[in-house]
Structure 1
């Protein structure tokens, strides 16, 4: 049985390291070995029950497709825990916090070791949508 420490919230503007260990859905949270739970900034995915909140963009892709796309970008699935989070052994990322989006999560822009922005990479999978209300990220290519 896996045990997880309470997630720490990283203050807005701070840069931090995240080594992904688990993923919930297409926009997070991504559980980091270092403690934070990252909600990817600037994008929206369907909730795992298939719904979209009324105040956010609603992609056509299923929640499972979006989650699996994120898991793929983070090195692939390595199993699941009892709560349904998909285990990953992702590459260490460098993230910049936007602060808390609510709950015990840190909204953040994260870069993979290749330098690619993870929110942009998710948009390219066509399983999530850019959320203009919160987009303060790079110009995706």
Structure 2
């Protein structure tokens, strides 16, 4: 029988630092892995996560809920989305994203945390995230 699992959102099982301008926390709830993203003003996937992932665009599937701030998503096919607090979206692979404005953007990701911002290169080749 499955057992209930309770965790504090601020006590992640794993924290993945971006090159700069934010981080992703990963919470393992058994069969469900949830992400909590913190994207600071100036953050853009293609600048601050792409060097870690080694892909041309974000290839992770996201089901996001924006808690604060604003996020712009640009799909490889040209479709664009502007997300703000309270918005929920499904975002398929093949996109870039960036913070709009000067407020920190916080999101909960119900589908993409397992692989998001995971270093894909060999340890000696991977850029080292800054603590800025």
TM-score (norm 1): 0.26
| Richer in helix (by share) | 1
| Richer in strand (by share) | 2
- Higher Cα radius of gyration: 2
